[in-house]
Amino acid sequence: MGNKTPYAFSIVLAVWFAILGLCCTVIGLSGALADDEMENWIRGVLWVLAISGGLMIYGGITMYFATKKKMSDIDKDEIELAQAVKNPATIEDAVKTIREEAAKPFPEKNTLLAHWNYTSEEWKEFTKKELSFRIREALIVWLLITGLGTWLIAGYRDMGHLAAFITSLSVGGLFTLIRLIIAYNARKANLSKPGDVIISAKSILINGKYHILNDENKTLYELELLKDQTPQILEFSVQWNTRSGMTNEQIRIPIPADKSTEAAQLVGVFYNEVIGKY
């Protein structure tokens, strides 16, 4: 099964949030309903604390069940992909199934479009270059956060340039560290297996690690065939909305030496039948 670490973290966060909310509610209610004489503003603060606690409990419970449902959906998707590999359909039948789902908000079926295996040499070469790519990407993000952050903080927060630079450098460094940890963990996980990729219009399994392309939150908006790299790369760009605006990620897959024609056909299928349809 795929990597459930982010979802496990969400469950822990949801439980912690609900427990914290319960504590706030108990403290707020016990204080607000007490018979002791207290100033009205203090009693008002306690009522606010109690109500806030209730909202935190509701948010934690909602997050918990939403995350559990997402984990269940992922398990279902992975089973579907595994079954599809055992009983592969022709690309024509796969396209027909995808067209039948085009009127839906996102693909509900994991229709197999490609299943690629790699030699140990191909996979080691890819994981080595992918780590270098992710390191460069993280460092570029660090530089951008430091530069833009310094300019914005110094300009709009009335802070000195040195303090703004140190703040931006620290925040960028934290993001970079997280991205580097993810990159190193991904390489370690990838090297533990010989290399296996399953692709559908809805999701991708890379060595058993689940990646979403299209669902109720995420949307695949671009697919590039990078022919100037060795091995050649399929780069899936997925975007989704957050509180601070749209964000995106790139899912990169190496193309086996004998699958270049199939990869080109796959790009055509995605642009004709998937991208822009959901």
Looking at the fold, whether 147 and 212 belong to one and the same domain comes out as no
Domain termination site, one of 155, 170, 194: 194
Q: How many domains does the chain have?
A: 3
Domain boundary among 170, 194, 218: 194
pLDDT at position 160, please? 72
Domain boundary among 194, 228, 254: 194
Task: Give residue-wise pLDDT tens across range 112-121.
Answer: 899 998 887 7
Average pLDDT over residues 1-6: 56
The H or E element containing residue 16 is helix 5-32
- pLDDT value of position 1: 46
Domain that holds residue 70: 5-87
215 and 98 within one domain:
yes
Examine the domain organization and report whether 257 and 274 are in the same domain. Answer: yes
pLDDT, tens digit, 9 for 90 and up, residues 89-147: 777 888 888 888 777 888 877 888 999 988 877 787 788 787 777 888 888 888 888 88
Indicate whether 82 and 10 sit together in one domain: yes
Cite the beta strand spans of the chain per DSSP E.
Answer: 112-117, 196-200, 203-206, 209-212, 218-226, 233-242, 245-254
pLDDT higher than threshold 90 for residue 25: yes
**Domain identity same for 129 and 265:** no
Q: Are residues 134 and 163 in the same domain?
A: yes
- pLDDT category at 222 given cuts 50, 70, 90 is very high
Query: Angle, to 10 degrees, between the axis of helix 161-191 and the axis of helix 120-156?
Result: 160
Q: Are residues 131 and 187 in the same domain?
A: yes
Six-digit token string for 84: 């599809």
Give pLDDT tens digits for 239-269. 988 776 788 888 888 998 889 889 999 999 9
Residue 234 is predicted with a pLDDT of: 93
